[in-house]
Structure 1
Amino acid sequence: MAPDRDGAIPRLATALMLAGSVLLLATALLATASILLRWITGQPIPGDFELVQIGSGLAVFGFLAHGTLMRANILVDSFTGWLPARINDAVDALWNLAWAVATALLAWRMALGAADAWASGTRSMVLGVAQWWAIALGALAFGATALAAIWVAWRQLRGDLRA
């Protein structure tokens, strides 16, 4: 059963997923335009690889919370498939809580990295684009993923989410 869309956490995850989708499409169009321009004129769009790197990375971050809500991660139930559903729900909730801790730690460290990049004025090599904002958006996405994992774990413990 897919989780419902009610509540702030599912809406945030959906918004991040949609933003990531648009960003991934934009990076694909940018790469295509740059390749065509290189083919026609011999010159690519300046800094195309920087923009594709930033855009693709942010797009992937945008999919994490939604993937967590949809339980689109890899599940291995070789050892627990025979257990009652409530026990399996508890085991799955435990692993979702572990995922929440991991993504919360990543969000925290990326937030510190964003602050450091801002303080040091870190910029990309070709275009000179400030990098702190992309790192901060990645931290936001990891934070949203942690919240989504907690939300899923809570729903599993209540018995609301069954495969």
Structure 2
Amino acid sequence: MHKLMMRLAKSMAYLGGAVLTLLIILTCISIAGRLLNGVFHGDLMERIAPGFSKWMTGWVGPVNGDFELVEAGVAFAIFAFLPLCQITAGHASVDVVANAFPRGVNRFLRMVTEVVFAAVLVLIAWRLGAGLASKYSNGETSFLLEFPVWWAYGISMIASVVAAIVGIYMGAVRTIEFFTGRILIWDGVEGEK
């Protein structure tokens, strides 16, 4: 089961990374277009080569609706990275006080943290589903590109459902570990004492 969950988490992270890479490229192209458009609109270019300047400003510029695509893509990427972060215990933690606790208390805290995190992920997926239904039914579109807003909700909800599934799995694993005293998934945090 762990191999399946790890493959699912890694697949989502790769997909999120690909989307994030495309968004970075899109942003760079848009910024370069905006910069070049400003150069070709400048007094110097209009004096040196007015025809070329006018021709270039006709098609060189920022990508139309780039911020809308970035907004939708980053939301998906965040949810796509959550499963891998969850299964590898990659979330930020403050262990200053926890290191002073006995092993049993730390296992209890890890169990509670994983169960609460799973519950929050399920809540997020549920509410994204409600938002998806709302955006789908009212037909809202983005301002510039006019793509249906529910598309962004849909891809984010798929990623959040995967994150919730992995969160539930990790909550179950940490609960079993707490009650049996065995380590089922070694992540380097357990066994430091």
Amino acid of the structure 2 residue aligned with 1:52: V
Partner of 1:71: 89
Rounded Cα–Cα distance in structure 1 between residues aligned with 2:95 and 2:105: 12
Rounded Cα–Cα distance in structure 2 between residues aligned with 1:77 and 1:153: 20
Residue of structure 1 aligned with 2:184, choices 143, 160, 163: 160
**Deviations 1:115-143, CA, capped at 9 Å, x for gaps:** 11111111100000111121122222222
Partner of 1:141: 159
Residue of structure 2 aligned with 1:88, choices 102, 106, 121: 106
Partner of 1:30: 26
For these two proteins, the number of residue pairs brought into alignment is: 159
Amino acid of the structure 1 residue aligned with 2:150: W
Rounded Cα–Cα distance in structure 1 between residues aligned with 2:73 and 2:98: 39
Q: Which has the larger radius of gyration?
A: 2
TM-score with structure 1 setting the length = 0.87
Partner of 1:129: 147
Contact 2:118 2:171 in 1 (8 A): no
Partner of 1:11: 7
Q: Any unmatched runs of 5+ in structure 1?
A: none
Amino acid of the structure 2 residue aligned with 1:109: R
Q: Any unmatched runs of 5+ in structure 2?
A: 39-60, 178-182
Using a 3 Å threshold, how does the CA distance of structure 1 residues 149 and 86 change in structure 2: closer, same or farther?
A: farther
TM-score with structure 2 setting the length = 0.75
Instruction: Measure how far apart 1:86 and its partner are.
Output: 4.1
Instruction: Measure how far apart 1:48 and its partner are.
Output: 1.2
Using a 3 Å threshold, how does the CA distance of structure 1 residues 160 and 87 change in structure 2: closer, same or farther?
A: farther
Rounded Cα–Cα distance in structure 1 between residues aligned with 2:159 and 2:134: 18
Partner of 2:131: 113
Rounded Cα–Cα distance in structure 2 between residues aligned with 1:40 and 1:126: 22
Rounded Cα–Cα distance in structure 2 between residues aligned with 1:146 and 1:94: 16
Instruction: Measure how far apart 1:63 and its partner are.
Output: 0.7
Amino acid of the structure 2 residue aligned with 1:81: N
Instruction: Measure how far apart 1:105 and its partner are.
Output: 0.7
Structure with greater contact order relative to length (CA < 8 Å, sep ≥ 6): 1
The percentage of counterpart residues that share the same residue type is: 26
Rounded Cα–Cα distance in structure 1 between residues aligned with 2:142 and 2:81: 24
Partner of 1:53: 71
Rounded Cα–Cα distance in structure 2 between residues aligned with 1:131 and 1:12: 26
Amino acid of the structure 1 residue aligned with 2:3: D
Contact 2:80 2:163 in 1 (8 A): no
